[in-house]
Amino acid sequence: MFFKYLLETLNLSLHQKTSASTNLSGYFFKFINQSISSKFLFIYYHTINSKRSKTLIFIQKNNSYLEMEGIRKEPRELTYKISIFGDRGVGKTTLVNRYITCEFHEDTLATLGATIHIKYLELEKGKLTLQIWDFGGQKRFKFLISSYARGSAGGIFMFDLTNYESLMAINEWLPEFGKTVRYIPLIMVGSKLDLEQKRVCKKNQVLDIIKSYKFHKYIECSSKTGENVELVFKVLLRKILDDRGYKHLKFK
């Protein structure tokens, strides 16, 4: 539907053979004398790293193609929203606070509903504003995530390595999250790595779940010691940027 809308926006019919060029949503597209049939078989895109991001999009039906060649200008500022969810007490707020302030507080209060945290990051070319939506883990707030997670560019499911029930809660949280958010990178985070001697969630159990739900990565961290805290967000943001055609953008 998106590409049908794209063609209609460009005043191109589904059977038209044409050479044309236009500007749409920051891209300059050049259409190369090809035709496409009434239905699309698949869509493929590839980004070439350079000072200006070059994108080629092919829409194929049998042996007919519409080729769009796009040049995208460097962004001055990007804004992404990510959602972090999981059971109460797993350390979601503590993780976010450690990431933003580099401080650890054991007496962090439970989140009621949802809290929005902001983190500003410097890129080699431009800035990135990260909105972190921290959802309360109480069951009475679980229904909120299907509405307020809308628009997320990525997600983090967090569980407590010393609490097996918090790991299995993924079967309740992820379907709720997926009601309005799909096809975005998700990572799974096991918290309280500093309590290794109390671990009850074994890695092989976690890896089975990752394969089942197709998570991008699994990371274990400790908000108390700071181990892997930066890595959690760095890995997710890198995946978000790569998926959106910004592989060439680096963090300072």
Q: What is the pLDDT of residues 198-226, one digit of tens each?
A: 999 998 889 999 988 989 999 999 999 99
10 Å CB burial of residue 161 (0-12, 13-18, 19+) is buried
The distance in angstroms from the start CA to the end CA of the chain is 38
Domains of the chain, with CATH numbers? 2-72 (no CATH), 77-243 (3.40.50.300)
238 CB-near residues (< 8 Å, 6+ apart): none
Is residue 176 within a helix (H) or strand (E), and if so which, with residue range?
helix 170-177
Which pLDDT value is given to residue 28? 37
Q: What is the pLDDT of residues 110-141, one digit of tens each?
A: 787 889 999 999 998 889 999 999 999 887 77
Phi, psi for residue 242 in degrees, rounded to 5: -60, -45
Q: What is the pTM of this model?
A: 0.70
- Helix, strand, or coil (residue 177): helix
Strands 186-191 and 42-48: unpaired
User: Is 80 exceeded by the pLDDT of residue 174?
Assistant: yes
User: If we measure between CA atoms, which residue out of 127, 129, 91, 95 comes closest to residue 110?
Assistant: 91
Half-sphere exposure of 80 (CA within 13 A, CB side): 20
